Amino acid sequence: MRRINCIGILTSGGDSPGMNAAIRAVTRTAISKGFKVKGIYRGYDGLINDEIKEFTSESVSNIVARGGTILKSARSKEFMTPEGREKAYATMQKEGIDALVVIGGNGSLTGAHNFAREHNVPCIGLPGTIDNDLYGTDLTIGYDTTLNTIVECVDKIRDTANSHERIFFVEVMGRDAGFLAQNSAIASGAEAAIIPEDSTDADQLEHFIGRGIRKSKNSSIVIVSESPKCGAMFYAERVKKEYPQYDVRVSILGHLQRGGSPTARDRILATRLGAGVIDALMDGQRNVMIGIRNDEVIYVPFADAIRSDKPMNKNLIKVLDQLSI
């Protein structure tokens, strides 16, 4: 196995709070162990186009509290092709980069998985996504900050819902994973969460109306996982049509969920996982994601991490349902 002297690091896909803390941890841990570090700007596109700069310890000073990513991020269509990955590999060889660290979500780690298989490059992934949908890790970098942002917003929306006796459908990010919606609903005292994991033959909207507002409440908050077909607007229109006696509003939180200074929990998680990258490389690990399980840093093979069936604790659905009466 080729000796690793220089490590490249990039952030890819949607940004998440704590990415900078992870960049800092990887960089400083690597330098302390005698490795060179090169920062790759604008994700896989930057790797293809050689937007690369050598990092020192000072390069990552005072970034642990900053949201976003100093390395910038992008979604690279070119890297999805074999030709694009071939260009990226040529850049790595030119720059003398021996191993690649990728901070991102499912799509980013899928790209790293394909790249590692095609070019025999040691790749280590960090779970940088607000959705908390990567398999094998209890938490992902950015999830806790985003959860707190959503709860803060819902607390404010609740004041208006109560004042005007309205039903508010609040749409949050998450795509095919309902972790943000379910847990923010519990934390904010919302009456219901409509999430992909609870999609059964039962009508979630009818269940909510029957258990909650129809019986005893004149205002309610429903958290809805984003969906192109069944987002907050879809359910709001249904209520207007099927239950015209209710005053309905929609609030789509959008990209404000991604921003802001990371919480202490996300900073600590990102730092622990970032340091774990260097331990993994020195241990001969390759093509794994560094995760956290039961408060222990673990290695998760890429093939497992990018699975789409990360389980949710179904007891949380039951708890929220019981509290909505």
Describe the strand order of the beta sheet including 52-55 as a list of residue ranges.
52-55, 36-40, 6-11, 99-104, 123-127, 288-293, 296-301
**Which residues partner with 138 through β-bridges?**
none
Distance CA 199, CA 33 (A): 49
Instruction: Give the tokens for residue 189.
Output: 């005292």
Distance CA 26, CA 132 (A): 21
Query: Exposed, middle or buried by CB within 10 Å (0-12, 13-18, 19+), for 159?
Result: exposed
Asked if 116 and 25 count as a contact pair (C-beta separation under 8 A), the reply is no
CB environment 88-110: b (16+ within 10 A), e (fewer): bbebbeebebbbbbbbbbbbbbb
Give catalytic residue positions: 131
**Closest listed residue to residue 40, CA positions, set 109, 99, 115:** 99
